[in-house]
Structure 1
Amino acid sequence: MESPEESSALRRAMQTISAMRAELDSYRVGSPIAVVGASVRLPGGVHTVGDFMEALYGGQELISDPPEDRKPFLDQESLKSAPSRGGYLHGALEFDAEFFGIAAREARSMDPQHRILLEVIWEAFEDAGIQVTDRPHSTGVYVGITSADYRKSVNERPPAHWTTGNGHCFAAGRIAYTLNFMGPTMAIDTACSSSLVAVHSACRALIGRECDRAVAAGVNLILATQSTVEIHKTGALSPSGRCRPFDARANGFVRGEGCGALVLKRYVDAVADGDHILAVLEGSAINQDGQSAGFAAPNPAAQASLIELTLSRAGRKAADVALLEAHGTGTALGDPIELTAVADSLGNSKGNWPLLVGSVKANIGHPEAAGGILGLIKAIECLRRDRVPPQANFTTLNPRVDLVGTRIAIPTSPTDLPSDANAVAMVNAFGMSGTNACVVVGRPPAPLERILTDAPGFVVSAPDDAGLAAVAAAYSATLTAEPSNQERFASFAWTATFGRTRLRHARWVAAGTAREAVSALDALASGEPDTRVRTIGADAEVPWTAPRSSLRGNVPTYPWRRKRYVPEWMS
């Protein structure tokens, strides 16, 4: 007969086993991750996801010669021996240091990649309608970053902040420090797969309950000639300055820049919190090429195996995949290998729809460490719109690829996706280091949106009075441009009040209609007194109680007031 002590010990053991089983199950099928916010910074002055998709549907190629602000960083003599056209960001050296409380001297020492990450991640939270200050103790940060060009630009003894401004680890650490996030934080460098590996790592941390929400991001800037020259020596760059994935004319990739960020939560939590869910990450996986034809050469068997593993984790069949955002860089070696792996693992299945394959790199160049997450954002938006953009720079299939008898198609015009809930997307990202990543993306169920018709007013806030005026002007312009609609205004007011981080200088604008709001906002923007505008504390309660809604109003992101920061010797 068991003693009371033995019985108690047995119960504790059984409880431990049960908890371990539950934790193990959370790593298996049925642990989806919700994407609740997204933001981008892209070539051609593209700063919003909407503008990004508009450019893709229009087949635009956002490739150019290096902008004027890069000339101090680029050795013009060296560029004569390597292609310099690429997908370059506008204003990449500009930053709103004052918003983040960073002194000018320190900002000059910070890699512009670190600066862009701060702004784009802030915008991702604004897109999510989630306050940055909500649950900071359980927010994780995962950043894909490879380039270290800026640290090479110092010509003498580095200034005091140079180390913390340039090391890869500080790209993630700076975000956590500045925004007071205390969850797991790391920078990830697996070459071109870095940002998709960051997404995978964030998903695993959420599933393992290491954090309750996470931000995953990737960034890339070209701020030195040496890296371009070195890549050119491998034969990977297109001498014509055109990126043509899958095309018979493909002769290499074009370097690109960009930044993308996603705010992620466990799906069950996002539903419970009333978040606006953009997509569901149903499964992700990473693996390694191992020994292939060469250290930097892709391994088709590893790629096919990864696709199959990712499908298994998502509980999906190959026939479910309707869209693949491929790694597709436009190289003679990589594209045929990837399409062969895709044909073997996905294309030979008898699905109810064709498998549309594309690559965003034809439009923006190859943004290297940021490529995976930008491809993921494209795939998410295609699912949301049920429409795939045309594959830019594609006319004739690469003769080294045989797609006869498969269901694979490369769209040459905007093409509808099946609206069937079982139709999912996949995203590939392969690193030159041999590390590969893959994600399955599905649509979320239709949100149960609560319709708002009345609002007593809304909050406007900024870190200082000048910023307050800028925000008020931006809000006024948005409300003026929108059709006069009470539901639209109420949704705007809710998002401005509850879906924006309350900053130090805050005002309550008592307005029940868009017309009243515009008049009050114009007064606030010009510094004129108005009885409808009153000062409130950063933590003060507002005269409105409303539960969280998945409805998001068209509230513009914070209007950054950027200044140009470069090393002192350049200025």
Structure 2
Amino acid sequence: MDDPDSTAALRAALRRATATIKELREQSPSTPVGGPIAVIGVGLRFADGIEDLDAYWAALRAGRSLITDMPRHRRWPFEDEWDYLPTRGSFVTDPLSFDPGFFGFAPKAAQAMDPQHRLMLEVAWEALAHAGMDPNGELPESVGTYVGIAGRQDYAAWEPEQVDPHWALAIGGGFAAGRIAYHFGFSGGAAGFDTACSSSLVAVHHAVAALRRGESDLALAGGVSLMLSPRSTAVIQQTGAMAPDGLCKAFDARANGYVRGEGGALLVLKRLADAVRDNDRVLGVIHGTAVNQDARSSGFTAPNAEAQRRVIEAALADAGCKPEEIGLLEAHGTGTSLGDPIEASAIVAALGTRNGGKPLHVGAVKANLGHLEAAAGVAGLIKALLCVRERTVPPLAHFQTLNPRIDLEGSDIRFSGHEVPWSLEEAGPLAGVSSFGAIGTNAHVIVGPAPEGTPALPPGGDIQRPGWNRIPCAPAFLGTAPRVPR
């Protein structure tokens, strides 16, 4: 028979333990699960000196094509190789200059560093400033860093005969994220993603997931792509995917290939509940994300319409919204004869015939910027956020006549070469953004406007830049890689 005193003592101990557990739970916030993510800051670099949201939005509204001939000084030291390759594209201003002292680098270390890493450091600084933080002051530690960046094939053409420690840490996608985390003291995890053209949107997807799981309280996410040697252009040209006339004509009957572009951008992300609590300015809200894979299709690099449809549907499910709530689809839109009709069929299946007959506007920023490859998704995402905020759909540059291979039957999908108002009485309030990688990895993100009552975030222009003391930081050696095969 049990001892009554022992039983009473055990029950008392259990009560005390239960009370202690309850007290600890009340003191510690529960791990966030799901929920929308606020975009509270943006830093960007695109062609023609575009470095803030005001300039970007003005170019989009004007339907400008930022594709030009490559500046002659950009062809050094590979002049002969460029002579037989396409040199039309969109190019950022002076990507080989950097302020090493500002970021605490010795000039030799800065020279060895991949210029994509250097550009990301500057863009990270500006994104944090745009979010109302002091990048040179005390910052949160629990910040994740997620960067979409292609492999080392371009910058490897500059490799010296004798590789030193500076060079060993100068290349590789993960180092771009790691350098940002190290410089700003972020401990929330850092990773580089190379899924080809979908890299930056995949980075955003993982940043959103990390925030929802409570792994970090803030995140930087985006991507970068620079053309630093003829090597990658030569490889892409051999696929026949590049437009001979140097223009990206997405979804148009004249579409005959894509054009390469340069740029980089990072978003500052935060759980919306936390942003509202902290009275942050909010540019827009990410409601849902999804990533999947083409698996087997008609070819390794051939797009898969079924996979594209499924990734859109998965993002809708993650956002908890219906097809009729999507009023704008910022498409992958490469302007290729194969890709455009396949993507259009996926849009029709996922959204166009399931939204109750509502209009669905479709745009593609590649028609303005060219294909930014690892940075393409984030360029489209920023455009979608601005469209949602301004309730305006900018013109689809170069669009004249719909590609006859695109079948829009049963839908009210609209392509326009002119700016059109986004009427909420007609079309849904949210936007979807697609980005599809040549390796078969697809990503989709659904965004909406900032909630009413949150502080307004101006489209741009309020970043206080420190006045970079940029100096030439090209390597002190010439490239020693074999010449590009013709």
Q: Same fold (TM over 0.5)?
A: yes
Partner in structure 1 of residue 107 of structure 2: 104
Alignment CA distance shift 1:95-1:351 (3 Å)? farther
Taking the aligned partners of 1:429 and 1:79, their CA distance within structure 2 comes to 31
Alignment CA distance shift 1:246-1:449 (3 Å)? closer
Which of 55, 70, 73 aligns to 2:74? It is: 70
Partner in structure 2 of residue 300 of structure 1: 305
Q: Letter of the aligned partner of 2:475 in structure 1?
A: P
**CA shift for structure 1 position 214:** 0.5
Whether the 8 Å CA contact 1:424–1:442 is kept in 2: the answer is: yes
Structure 2, unaligned runs of 5 or more: 1-6, 480-486
Q: What SS class does the counterpart of residue 401 from structure 1 fall into?
A: coil
Which of 115, 138, 156 aligns to 2:118? It is: 115
**CA shift for structure 1 position 68:** 2.9
Which of 141, 145, 149 aligns to 1:141? It is: 145
Taking the aligned partners of 1:124 and 1:352, their CA distance within structure 2 comes to 39
Aligned pairs for 1:69-218 (under 5 A) are: 69-77=73-81, 79-80=83-84, 82-132=85-135, 133-148=137-152, 149-218=154-223
1:234 maps to 2:142: no
1:564 maps to 2:467: no
Taking the aligned partners of 1:147 and 1:76, their CA distance within structure 2 comes to 24
Whether the 8 Å CA contact 1:320–1:351 is kept in 2: the answer is: no
Alignment CA distance shift 1:32-1:98 (3 Å)? same
Taking the aligned partners of 2:161 and 2:290, their CA distance within structure 1 comes to 44
1:51 maps to 2:68: no
**CA shift for structure 1 position 448:** 4.8
Question: Larger relative contact order (C-alpha < 8 A, sep ≥ 6)?
Answer: 2
Partner in structure 1 of residue 328 of structure 2: 323
Aligned pairs for 1:504-515 (under 5 A) are: none
Cα offsets for 1:284-313 (capped at 9, x unmatched)? 111111111111111111111111111011
Taking the aligned partners of 1:554 and 1:14, their CA distance within structure 2 comes to 45
1:391 maps to 2:396: yes
Q: What SS class does the counterpart of residue 338 from structure 1 fall into?
A: helix
Q: Letter of the aligned partner of 2:150 in structure 1?
A: T
Whether the 8 Å CA contact 2:225–2:375 is kept in 1: the answer is: yes
Whether the 8 Å CA contact 1:121–1:217 is kept in 2: the answer is: no
**CA shift for structure 1 position 134:** 4.4
Which of 433, 440, 443 aligns to 1:437? It is: 443
**CA shift for structure 1 position 266:** 0.3
Taking the aligned partners of 2:374 and 2:160, their CA distance within structure 1 comes to 26
Cα offsets for 1:427-453 (capped at 9, x unmatched)? 001011111111000111223559xxx
Partner in structure 2 of residue 340 of structure 1: 345
1:349 maps to 2:365: no
Whether the 8 Å CA contact 1:448–1:550 is kept in 2: the answer is: no
Aligned pairs for 1:216-295 (under 5 A) are: 216-295=221-300
Deviates more, 1:260-269 or 1:41-50: 41-50
State the Cα RMSD in Å.
2.8
Deviates more, 1:425-434 or 1:558-567: 558-567
Alignment CA distance shift 1:349-1:331 (3 Å)? same
Alignment CA distance shift 1:570-1:551 (3 Å)? closer
Taking the aligned partners of 1:343 and 1:79, their CA distance within structure 2 comes to 42
Q: What SS class does the counterpart of residue 439 from structure 1 fall into?
A: strand
Aligned residues: 468
Between the aligned residues of both structures, percent identity stands at 45
In the superposition, the TM-score normalised over structure 1's length comes to 0.77
Q: What SS class does the counterpart of residue 218 from structure 1 fall into?
A: strand
**CA shift for structure 1 position 419:** 4.2
**CA shift for structure 1 position 208:** 0.5
Alignment CA distance shift 1:192-1:551 (3 Å)? closer
Q: Letter of the aligned partner of 2:66 in structure 1?
A: L
Q: What SS class does the counterpart of residue 151 from structure 1 fall into?
A: helix
Cα offsets for 1:171-229 (capped at 9, x unmatched)? 11111111111111111111110000100100111000100000002000001112111
Alignment CA distance shift 1:336-1:449 (3 Å)? closer
Cα offsets for 1:220-257 (capped at 9, x unmatched)? 00011121111111111111111111011111100110
Aligned pairs for 1:441-520 (under 5 A) are: 441-449=447-455
Taking the aligned partners of 1:249 and 1:550, their CA distance within structure 2 comes to 37
Deviates more, 1:427-436 or 1:126-135: 126-135
Cα offsets for 1:445-486 (capped at 9, x unmatched)? 223559xxxxxxxxxxxxxxxxxxxxxxxxxxxxxxxxxxxx
